[in-house]
Amino acid sequence: MKRVQPSVLILPIILAGGEGRRLAPISTSSQPKPFIPLPDGRSLLTRTLERASPLNGFLPPLLIGQASHRFSLLNHARAAHVVPSAILLEPQAKNTAMAIASACLYALHYQPQAVLAILPADQVIEPQEAWLEAVHAAAAVSHANGKLCLLGVTPTRPDPHFGYIQPGLPLPGSEAVLVEQFIEKPEYPAALLPHCFWNAGQFFVTPAILAQLFAAHAPDIWEAAREAMAAADIAWEFTMLGSAAYISAPPRSFDRSIVEKSSVLAVRLQAHWHDLGTVEAWEAYTCQPADSYADRPERIDRPWGFYELLGDKAPDRLEKRLTLFPGCRISLQRHTCRDEEWRVLSGQAEAELDGQFYRLEPGSHIHIMAHMWHRLHNTGSTPLIIHEIQSGNPDESDIERREDDYGRLNDS
């Protein structure tokens, strides 16, 4: 794809902390909406990161989500071949206002000249080219006029689950319009279709203007975010926001706290836009019933990749499918109560067993006896996929680490 050259610097802020309660049982607490794979195997978060990648003219994105999903955030970015500028971790979900305020403070320090593109991680937009055109236009309009700008979508049906925008006068010399009114989840949406937009929930604004809006309209949230950022702890790829200030912040939405109290511009997004926030919307888009997701393998993310549980766990046997991203390796570890067997399904690997090193290719397998120090390393350029069989007592707590690339010698 041809690289896009935007007229202004754009820093994507990807909001991936939503729990997706309306999407239950497809969305769960361990694998909420942004991380659920669509039929092509890519998650909503991965698709969002691909759209907002540097290949499309953006700065490396800033990810923000819950601390309990830190490895999922990292791995879905790896799946999109995107290295985030930072991953901010929320100690507790506090709705969108607190998350966006925290991201704004980060941007004020590291990218003050950029326009922020505040993007939810739970939408499908096709085609990508139409979205890119609208985004670069909205960012340029926001930068030139010093105002908050958003994307509006022409409605295709009277849906009461969406927010609507009533457009006002056009902005002279621009494709943007002034927003006259916001109408949230109307009881009778059919009456709005001829002249209103859907609110796509995608916003564009400079960090300086956004800071002014927070200080004017939500000073309590802004002060809590300042305290949380000042107390942030940086570890590995993650920035953990200060717990005390974050948890004490009010759980308000960005729309209610800032957008509805501000002078806002809108640019039309002429694309197919899908907000997969309900089971009905998900089933309609994927053509898959909700109950089909009950049989998907449970996925557990780790800093090197993830594993999926295959079948039911027996007292003396457990099967997993491991995926290690390129360059990643598990800790040098051993187990007391189980043996393991690794079989390479795809990729290139190096296995270490008690100081001896072995090259593994697709079809290769190796047996690890209890008490043997062992480590697996993806030495290839593609994901390494391993079928692992544990026999004996497959207890996750039965692990002793000697070396670890991710500081987990005293962690699980």
Domains, the chain, with CATH or none: 10-295 (3.90.550.10), 299-403 (2.60.120.10)
Give the C-alpha separation, 206 to 274, whole Å. Answer: 26
In the predicted model, is pLDDT for residue 121 greater than 90?
A: yes
Average pLDDT over residues 31-47: 93
Residue 187: its pLDDT value, please?
81
Q: How far, in Å, are 66, 120, 158, 211, 359 from residue 96 at the CA level?
A: 12, 10, 26, 15, 47
Q: Higher model confidence: residue 192 or residue 255?
A: 255
* Beta bridge partner(s), residue 301: 306
pTM metric for this prediction: 0.93
Residue 410: its pLDDT value, please?
62
Write out pLDDT tens, residues 139-158.
999 999 999 999 999 998 88
* Beta bridge partner(s), residue 365: 343
Split at pLDDT 50, 70, 90, the class of 20 is: confident
CA nearest to 77, candidates 132, 16, 9, 18: 16
CB 108 within 8 A of CB 211: yes
Strand 233-235 relative to strand 238-240: parallel, antiparallel, unpaired?
A: antiparallel
DSSP state, residue 61: P
In the predicted model, is pLDDT for residue 2 greater than 50?
A: no
Q: Give the three-state DSSP class for 391.
A: strand
The structure tokens listed for 141 are: 């309009």
CA nearest to 323, candidates 356, 340, 299: 299
CA nearest to 102, candidates 206, 242, 201: 242
Average pLDDT over residues 91-103: 96
Give the C-alpha separation, 122 to 329, whole Å. Answer: 30
Percent of the chain with pLDDT over 70: 98
Residue 5: its pLDDT value, please?
55
Average pLDDT over residues 88-102: 96
Residue 333: its pLDDT value, please?
97
Q: Higher model confidence: residue 174 or residue 261?
A: 261
Write out pLDDT tens, residues 260-297.
999 999 999 999 999 888 899 899 999 989 888 878 88
Residue 190: its pLDDT value, please?
86
Residue 384: its pLDDT value, please?
98
Write out pLDDT tens, residues 366-394.
999 999 999 999 999 999 999 999 999 99
